[in-house]
Each structure stands twice: as structure tokens, then as C-alpha cells.
Chain A
Amino acid sequence: MNREDFPILQQNIVYFDNAATTLKPKKVIDSMDEYYLRHTSNIHRGDYNFAIQTNKLYDHVRNIVSKFVNCDSSEVIYTSGATMSINMVVFGYMKNHLKKGNEILISKAEHASNILPWMKLCEEVGTILKYVPLNENYELTLDSIKKCVTSKTRVISLAHVTNVLGDVRDIQAIGEFARENNILFHVDGAQSVPHMPVDFKKSCIDFLSFSGHKMCGPTGVGILVGRYDLLTEMDPVFYGGGMNSSFESDLTYELKAVPVKFEAGTPPIAEVIGLGEAINYLMKIGMDKIHDYEVKLKKYLISKLKDIPNLILYNEDMNSGILAFNIDGVFAQDTSVYLNHYNICVRAGNHCAKLLKDAMNIRNTVRVSMYFYNNYEDIDRFVDALKNSKDIFNVVL
């Protein structure tokens, strides 16, 4: 649906790499052009009309985000993307609140950005990283989390939807369990916030990270939503202009209030404005509608692939627009190079989830990740290409 909003789709491509980044609707690009062409100016304290206009647009995006994921606008921090958001949680909050021996629960299906910061924290503070086991379908359940929780568990940090297999975790149930047990709950929303409704308050989330470019927005901007009382105890990771109220030569300084104190330096202004436009665009379509449509596409894809021999599907039952597969006996990258000959864009590799190989016994997969602008015709083209894949080496070599 809404294909006409995406100029890039006028080229003859099937874009199935939406978990890596999404295409941008014209409206989002226009909103950023408008800033650069008609009212370029910095935010904070500009007394001329351009600056007042920019400031208003920039600040308003916090309200848009708060409506989108149900939080207060004072709980919305602009970051460079989900990676920066998670690093701020780990090094701005956790580092000052966790002690040696405290346990952090994650899973082996997480993206590097939800593993490496925690590893570094363990190295620095002596916390312990524990991996909640995945079941035989590589899914994570609340029961398996409960079995891993001890009196030392202080944090659960999980992707809402995992980026290789598209496992949709029941964050509502996990969040309620975490809050009852006084465990902090961080959700990596990079693969869920763009694709389905996410409710920060209702799901008892303490910190929520996501990226703009995976949801029709520009690169270079993302969001950290944090519970307000926790944010008042979080330290900035960066210090500089825009985030301080005063500083003196005797080393005394005062910082601005939450959330501005976390946003040192000139932020990505055009990108924040573009992200606001992207969120408005998604809300207009409706997140429920987007999710339902992607699940339908996935079901259609799976039904079509049943006719093709020699395919190994790793996650056909998972309720999202992501399919991981291999052609038996063909290295994942050779498959993606082959599909490129048909102008089909997929991704091959470990998809930054380098621990998943321990659970799956397979290192590399080809990943199809769909979004609302994909259609049944895209799937037919993809399936047709795979039908000819016995000739794969005639094409790629």
C-alpha cells in the first residue's frame, strides 16, 4: 500500500531489506528540504523568524513521539539512533546504578547494539550477563525468563522484535513481570516501533530505544524514551552547548532539565523534523493496519515458497514481516548476489546477531524483511527468481 508516496519505487526494484533501513516517502524528504531551503537556522534562543519557526517544529516532534508510543513528551530524548539510545541507558544510567554481581538478562538473538554495551558494562563494573535460552523455534518466552531470574537480576533488556528471525516478544507480559519484581526493563524497539503499535506506559517499559531510518525517517536520528523518574537520575554521556544552564571557572556547573540535558551540541535538526513527519505519516496509515498487512504478506510468501525445493526456512511461523532462509548448499551471499540480478534487494550475513549462531547452529542466512509498501507482486517476482535458482551459478559466476 501507499507505493505512490515513495519516489524510489519508480525504479524497477523489489526492496526487501527493510530491517536494515526503509525507503523514504516524498513528504519526509520535502519536510527536510523545506528546512534547508526555507528556514535553515539553529535551535535554542534564536530571535529571528526562521529560528522561531525551526524551534517550534523541532520541539513539537517530542509531542508527536509521545503520542506515537504513549509516553510524556518530557520523556523523549533525541539521539542519533537506537545504538546511541542503548549506550546512553547503559553508560548514563546503569553504570551508576548497578553493582558488581548484579545480573542482566538478554538473549543470544539480540543485535550487537543490545549486547556489546552490556558486555562493556560487565567489564567495567563486574555485572553479570545472562542469556535467556531460546526454545526449539528460537523464540523467547516469559517462562524461560522467569527461570533465569534470581534475587540478583536487576535488568532485562530485549528486542521487541528480533532482527534476524522476527520473533515478536510479549513485551506487555515481560514488562508487567519485570515491574512486579522490581527489575528494570529496556526494550530495543528498532524492529517493532516501525511495524506495530508500541505502548511505553501500558507495557511497563522503563527505557525504549528506536531509530528513525527504519521507520520511513532519515538516518542519523533516533529516540530514547525513558521513565521520567529514572531520567532524573541518569547522567548525560555528552557535555557541551545547549544542555547546561551555567558553568563557572571553579568547576561548578548546572545542567538543564530532562530531556534537554542529554542533548549536547547542535542536534540533527533536519532529521528530527523529518522523523516527526515520518511518524505522522505512519500514524495516519495506522500501526495496527501496517502490522496486519505485513503478517498477511508473510503468510502469502510462505505459501508460495512451499512449491520450491531445496529451501530451508528458519522462521516461517513468526508473526512479522521477516523471513530468514537459505538455499540448501548455497552460501547466503551467493544467493543475495543472485537475487540482485533480478533487482531484488535482500541482505545476507549474520545481520549483527553474532551470538545467534550458538542457538541456531547456522552462521549466515538470507533475510527478506518487508514493509507496508511491499506487495504481492514483489513476492511473486521473488518467488519466480528462486524458482530458477538451479541456474544460480550460471548467473552469479
Chain B
Amino acid sequence: MDSNMRREIILDNYQEPVNRGLIGDESYLKVNTNSESCIDNLDFMVKIEDNVIKDIRFDGEACAISTSATSIMIQKLIGKTVDEVKNILENYRNMIYEKSYDKELLGELVVYDEISKQPNRVNCALLPAVAVERILEKLK
């Protein structure tokens, strides 16, 4: 992808991320990603009904990469089944770690396909994936 286009997508999602702001609804599953390797601190809440991701919301303080990745990820995952989400996250991780992955599946998430060149930002890009994976763990 052209680097201007890449930057524009990241910046749009950083400056005006979707679904920012938590709501008081007990039917959502919640996690906080206050990771020790990183200063980002985001709260996530996810509504799952009939095995389908109905809604994801988030709030908190985080860098441009974490925030934009969260916004793009939210748009990608809402409406998908749990199995579809797992598949997307696996391919996303593969992309981040420079393994082979299905580009079609990831859509705009491919803006982070070169993030491994900045090792200190890998965790930033992975943050929303880690959050959703931890939510899915709770389903077990």
C-alpha cells in the first residue's frame, strides 16, 4: 500500500476512532489492557450474542498505533462469528510477525503490515487483538 494512504487510514482512525466511550451495560464482557510492556491503557467491552460479535466499545489513553488499530479492528470484527474472529486474529498476528497470511481477510488492517520494522510498536498494533482474545477466553 502507498505510504500516504497508509498514514491517512491510521491517522483518521486515531483522530476519530469508532465506538470510543464505554456504556453501562452489564451484558458486555470487559477487559483492561494495562500491559506491563507498554504505557497504553485501554478498556474494552464486547457484546457477544448467539456466537456473534454484536458490539465492541473502548476507552482510555493510548498511542496512535494502538488507538487506530483498535478502531480498524472494531469495524472489522463487528458482525463476525466467534470462529471468524479467531481466524481474523490469527491472520493478523501472522501478518504482524511477518508470516504468511490471508490479505483479503484483513481489509484495512493491512496498514500495519510493516510494523515489524519498528519492534517497539509491535505490541501497540497487537493491543486490540490481545484484548479481544482475552474476551474470547472468558467464553470458555
Contacts and interface: CB of A to CB of B under 8 A. Distances in A.
Our verdict on whether A and B bind, yes or no, reads yes
Interface of A: 331-334, 337, 348-350, 363-364, 393-394, 396-397
A396 B66 CA distance: 13
Contacts of A393: 7, 10-11, 14, 64
Contacts of B65: 397
Nearest to A364: B39
B63 A334 contact: yes
Contact of A397 (B10, B38, B39, B40): B10
A348 B121 CA distance: 13
A166 B62 CA distance: 25
A334 B39 contact: no
Contacts, number: 38
B41 A334 contact: no
21 contacts: A331-B61, A331-B63, A332-B39, A333-B38, A334-B64, A337-B63, A337-B120, A348-B39, A349-B39, A350-B39, A363-B41, A364-B39, A364-B61, A393-B7, A393-B10, A393-B64, A394-B7, A396-B64, A397-B7, A397-B11, A397-B64
Contacts of B54: none
Nearest to A393: B11
Given A363-B39, A393-B11, A394-B7, 20 more contacts: A331-B61, A331-B62, A331-B63, A332-B39, A333-B39, A333-B40, A333-B63, A333-B124, A334-B63, A337-B63, A337-B120, A348-B39, A350-B39, A363-B41, A363-B61, A393-B14, A396-B64, A397-B10, A397-B11, A397-B65
Contacts of B7: 393-394, 397
Looking at A333, A334, A337, the one whose CB has the most chain B CB atoms below 10 A away is: A333
User: Could you tell me the dominant secondary structure of chain B's interface residues?
Assistant: helix
B80 interface: no
Interface in B56-110: 61-65, 67
B41 A331 contact: no
A331 B39 CA distance: 10
A393 B67 CA distance: 14
Looking at B14, B40, B63, the one whose CB has the most chain A CB atoms below 10 A away is: B63
Contacts of A349: 39
Interface in B9-49: 10-11, 14, 38-41
B35 to A, nearest CB: 12
A323 B10 CA distance: 30
Nearest to A350: B39
Contacts of B40: 333
A355 B121 CA distance: 26
A394 B4 CA distance: 9
Looking at B10, B64, B118, B124, the one whose CB has the most chain A CB atoms below 10 A away is: B64
A67 to B, nearest CB: 39
B46 to A, nearest CB: 24
Contacts of B63: 331, 333-334, 337
A337 B121 contact: yes
A350 B40 CA distance: 10
Contacts of A396: 64
A343 to B, nearest CB: 15
B134 interface: no
Contacts of A397: 6-7, 10-11, 64-65
Nearest to B64: A334
A333 B38 CA distance: 9
A397 B4 CA distance: 9
A334 B40 CA distance: 11
A199 to B, nearest CB: 36
A332 B63 CA distance: 8
Closest 7 CB pairs of A and B: A349-B39, A333-B63, A331-B63, A397-B7, A397-B10, A334-B64, A334-B63
A396 B3 CA distance: 12
Contacts of A331: 61-64, 67
A337 B65 CA distance: 11
A331 B7 CA distance: 17
A106 to B, nearest CB: 23
B17 to A, nearest CB: 13
A350 B65 CA distance: 19
